Amino acid sequence: MNNTIRMQFSDSPAPLGQYLRAAFARGSGRQEMPAVQAVLSGVQPAVNKVAAYARVCGFDPAATTLPLTYPHILAFPLHMELMLRKDFPLPLMGLVHIRNRITCLRPLPLTERLDIRCWLGEQRVTEAGREFDIHTEVSRGGEVCWLEVSTNLCRQKRSSSQRRSSEQQRFACQESWSLAGNLGRRYAWVSGDSNPIHLWPLTARLFGFRRHIAHGMWSKARIAAALSGQLNSTRCCLEVEFRRPLFLPARAVLHYGADKDGYRFEMRSADGDQLHLRGSLMPVQ
């Protein structure tokens, strides 16, 4: 890691400027990921912004600790900076978020100042294209408190294999949610993720979608809000695999059940035919 480039930020980069730059970012075409990390120290989450995020995602807006998924919001501008570098090999606008794993080692009080470090990690060539990981580490006073691995895919060829099975598993519990047509814009406002595929039908069609789609990280946050209170541990790992876009407006159903380790879940369309995501929420020992 001695040759790793360190990008140090004194403040969080502005999302609007990042998306304007992303529209012209074509990727370097190189094979290897650059050895680079982005660091933001002494971050103080804004209480009003955290509360607004909590309301959109279903968390308690009066809680004194950060929602389980909120550090992703603090780190996301750093993710963008890593991918906006001229030596980053892939075009940003074609990337698809396919997996996300969050590990919380202790709750993060609203009053704490946090240090965030993000870096580009492993990449793999798959039947669908190139996928790569972005790692995030959130610490306080040198103590690592929260970790994330966010996996993205750049589609480069059509898979010759059959579509993965989306056969519905049997779960004991379910919740039905109504997702309004403006959900993508509301989440973009509180998260800073203003990717046009989430905002309006017209802007989504520019990128090949028939309508705008819900943010994957909204879905993950909504599930965290629904299930994390039922888990008898504040140390946990929440892992999600994103499968199909969730077009807005929509009705979605969370199917879940407890096992000896924690909870497993799926989010499906109201008729059960479309699997949007599946994952698990497990305690960390």
Task: Output the domain CATH number for residue 117.
Answer: 3.10.129.10
Other Cβ atoms closer than 10 A to 3: 6
157-211 per-position pLDDT tens digit: 655 444 455 667 889 899 999 999 999 999 999 998 888 889 999 989 988 889 9
Q: Which of 161, 189, 217 corresponds to the end of one domain?
A: 161
Distance set, CA 79 to CA 66, 85, 89, 105, 221 (Å): 20, 11, 14, 21, 18
Q: What is the rounded (10 degree) CA torsion for 118, 204, 126, 39?
A: -10
Range of the domain at 184: 169-285
- Can you give the pLDDT at residue 6? 94
- What's the total number of domains in the chain? 2
Residues 63 and 180 in one domain: no
DSSP 76: H
Distance set, CA 109 to CA 147, 209, 230 (Å): 16, 39, 20
Residues 65 and 199 in one domain: no
Q: Which of 109, 136, 161 corresponds to the end of one domain?
A: 161
Distance set, CA 37 to CA 72, 83, 149, 252 (Å): 16, 11, 14, 37
- Residue 177's nearest CA partner among 61, 277, 48, 264 is 277
Q: Which of 161, 182, 198 corresponds to the end of one domain?
A: 161
| Residues 217 and 248: beta-carbon distance below 8 Å | no
Which residues of the chain carry a pLDDT beneath 70?
A: 1-2, 27-29, 157-167
- Can you give the pLDDT at residue 2? 62
| Residues 153 and 131: beta-carbon distance below 8 Å | yes
- Can you give the pLDDT at residue 93? 74
105-131 per-position pLDDT tens digit: 999 999 999 999 999 999 898 888 899
Residues 191 and 151 in one domain: no
Return phi, psi of residue 129, to 5°: 150, -155
Return phi, psi of residue 114, to 5°: -120, 150
Query: What is the reported pTM?
Result: 0.92
